[in-house]
């Protein structure tokens, strides 16, 4: 004779699986929630630094976005939209990379809350050691969040020149 299936046990098992699934997806959302204050209303300043000279500790040809400029507002909105709509590759508290002396371009966003974010094109995801041409690293305090955003990555590397054509010196 076959074993009787205990309906209460099956229901309990299914409910536990749903609970565990809900917790695990909720943990994934925590990393994207860290960026929820990156909205146009919360931005107090935003700069794009195409090159950083570490020896002289100075920014070369920094682009300071003007929050009252229609053109700059459109660019800021585009960048923030890419950040908000990107997929989180990983979230790594305590994961700020060591300085390698490189002069990688980056976006610096200062929020009205006092939070400051640095956004770089990432060459690999430190927590998973994953190489990806679409990775972007967002650093805040000692937290690194790796996003998959091909548009933002391309803009940081050279797409910015379409919005802010370099001037001849």
**Residue 122 belongs to a domain:** yes
**Residue 29 belongs to a domain:** no
**Residue 15 belongs to a domain:** no
8 Cα distance to chain centroid: 44
The string of pLDDT tens digits covering residues 30-89 is 444 567 777 888 899 999 888 655 555 454 578 899 999 999 999 999 999 999 999 887
**Residue 42 belongs to a domain:** yes
User: Which pLDDT value is given to residue 80?
Assistant: 92
User: Which pLDDT value is given to residue 110?
Assistant: 92
Angle CA 114–98–156, to nearest 5? 65
**Residue 103 belongs to a domain:** yes
User: Which pLDDT value is given to residue 99?
Assistant: 39
**Residue 1 belongs to a domain:** no
* Gap between the Cα atoms of 4 and 22, Å rounded: 30
* Gap between the Cα atoms of 159 and 37, Å rounded: 24
User: Which pLDDT value is given to residue 81?
Assistant: 92
* Gap between the Cα atoms of 89 and 146, Å rounded: 5
The token pair at 119 is: 């956004």
**pTM of structure:** 0.69
Q: How many domains does the chain fold into?
A: 1
**Residue 102 belongs to a domain:** yes
Residue 55: give the domain boundaries: 35-163
**Residue 113 belongs to a domain:** yes
- Do residues 168 and 121 make contact, with C-beta atoms less than 8 angstroms apart? no
User: Which pLDDT value is given to residue 24?
Assistant: 37
């Amino acid at each position: 004779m076959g074993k009787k299936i205990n309906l209460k046990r099956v229901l309990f098992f299914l409910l536990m699986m749903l609970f565990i699934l809900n917790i695990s997806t909720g943990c994934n959302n925590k990393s994207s929630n860290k960026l929820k204050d990156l909205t146009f209303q919360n931005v107090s300043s935003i700069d794009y630094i195409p090159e950083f000279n570490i020896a002289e500790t100075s920014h070369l040809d920094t682009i300071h976005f003007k929050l009252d400029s229609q053109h700059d507002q459109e660019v800021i909105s585009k960048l923030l939209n890419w950040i908000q709509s990107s997929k989180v590759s990983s979230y790594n508290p305590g994961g700020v990379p060591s300085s390698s002396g490189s002069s990688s371009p980056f976006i610096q966003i200062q929020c009205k809350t006092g939070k400051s974010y640095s956004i770089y094109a990432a060459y690999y995801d430190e927590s998973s050691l994953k190489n990806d041409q679409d990775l972007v690293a967002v650093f805040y305090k000692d937290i690194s969040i790796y996003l998959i955003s091909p548009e933002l990555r391309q803009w940081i590397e050279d797409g910015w020149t379409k919005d802010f054509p370099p001037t001849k010196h």
